Structure 1
Amino acid sequence: MGIVMAAGATISPGQAMAQAADPAISTVRALNDGLLSIMRAGKAAGPKGRAATIGPVIDRAYDLPLMTRLSIGSGWTTIKPADQAALTAAFRRMTVSQYAANFDDFSGQTFTLDPKVEARGGDRLVRTTLNDPKGETVAIAYRLRNSGGTWKIIDVFYRNSISQLAIRRADFARIVQNKGARALVDHLNALSVKSGG
């Protein structure tokens, strides 16, 4: 298993009330529940089975169209609408297949949500911690933005410092600039295949 995150941590009643009160935390909790489900399904479900299960969860938790646009940066406005749609579909396929590949077994991990939600301008930051039975803990934070009345994830920070969006922007913008949008679609599809999707 690659980078592993799970859900199902025990929390105090006070924490539960705080979490239930904030819709940004509810979004992350739903994602964690979905991840825990595919981890328990494990290798028996196979990459495609796990992808089929986690795909709708990803769609509800993430603002994938916005993440695609932000990952490409200013070059997005020069891309034809048909290519924008192809990029968004490829970005979704890659995201789902990577989750299905990384969350492929369960060995007692728990995922703790911090009840304190941090405001970042109009966005919110929900901090979490992966607790592994082998002793490793990994801090992870989700940045969420209100989209049509629903808080959706637009970025993930591993160890609370490494922005997934920033890493992808450096890679994706270069590909679009040097080779064009279709080359990036091919690149994203190749990443999906590599993950087993």
Structure 2
Amino acid sequence: MKRVLQLVLLIIACHAPAPAARSDTGPVAVIEALHAVLLQVMQNADQLGVQGRYDTLEPRLRETYDFERMIAIAAGSHWASAGEAERAQLLAAFIRYSVATYASRFVGYNGEQFAIQGERPGPRETVLVDTTIQPRDAQPIPITYVMRKRDNDDARVVDVLLENAISELAVRRSDYASILQAGGAPHLTQVLNERSDALLRGTP
């Protein structure tokens, strides 16, 4: 059960890419590509090590998630008021922490499987891709990816819902609120980089 909970927390806590996807790649295909890399990393976790897992996951995660939109929403008015350089630094730290979290949690494979139920229209021009994580010895866990087109690019994930109730963006906004209040975007950048350093050292 502990293994199942770690996997669930990973999926909702963060937040995927390899080679750039074609412009006609649909939402389901994007999530299928994410699942394929996650399974690859889980099945080869020991051989890869934490840095190898990071390097494998980082391009796929960039292709899957709209990290810029996510951090803009999570940071709220602090993102809106930040300068261009501060935004770039915060975005880089946010991506690094998201990937490091995946790399630190996918430490083995115990028969987990991912399944896609399909896609459906969501609110405010989003597409919802309904999936499940199927642990070997437990009930499937529903995960819904909230996806939105980015200009003329492929659809990217902007939020993740666990059991149609727990929003990743809501969790992030709550986590970052006091950090931003204490020191704005530069302070959040520092905290996220410190967290990433700890994860990549193996001391979360």
**Shorter-chain-normalised TM-score: which range?**
0.7 to 0.9
Structure 2 gap ranges (5+): 12-23
SS in 2 for 1:59: helix
SS in 2 for 1:135: coil
SS in 2 for 1:120: coil
Aligned-residue CA RMSD (Å): 2.0
Q: Using the alignment, how far apart are the partners of 1:164 and 1:69 within structure 2? A: 14
Partner of 2:181: 177
Partner of 1:53: 56
For 1:45-104, what per-residue CA distance to the aligned partner results, in whole angstroms no more than 9, with x for missing partners?
Answer: 111000000100001011111111111012211112111100000000001111111222
Q: Using the alignment, how far apart are the partners of 2:37 and 2:120 within structure 1? A: 21
Aligned length: 183
- The answer to whether the 8 A contact 1:64-1:92 is kept is yes
- The answer to whether the 8 A contact 2:78-2:185 is kept is no
Counterpart among 121, 124, 128 of residue 125 in structure 1: 128
Q: Displacement of 1:122 after TM fit?
A: 0.6
- The answer to whether the 8 A contact 2:147-2:159 is kept is yes
Partner of 1:159: 163
- The alignment-based identity, stated in percent, is 31
Q: Aligned pair in 2 of structure 1 residues 118, 56: CA closer, same or farther (>3 Å)? A: same
Structure 1 gap ranges (5+): 7-20
Deviates more, 1:135-144 or 1:174-183: 174-183
Partner of 1:17: none
Q: Displacement of 1:159 after TM fit?
A: 2.4
Q: Displacement of 1:130 after TM fit?
A: 0.6
1:1-197 equivalence runs, <5 A: 2-3=6-7, 23-147=26-150, 148-196=152-200
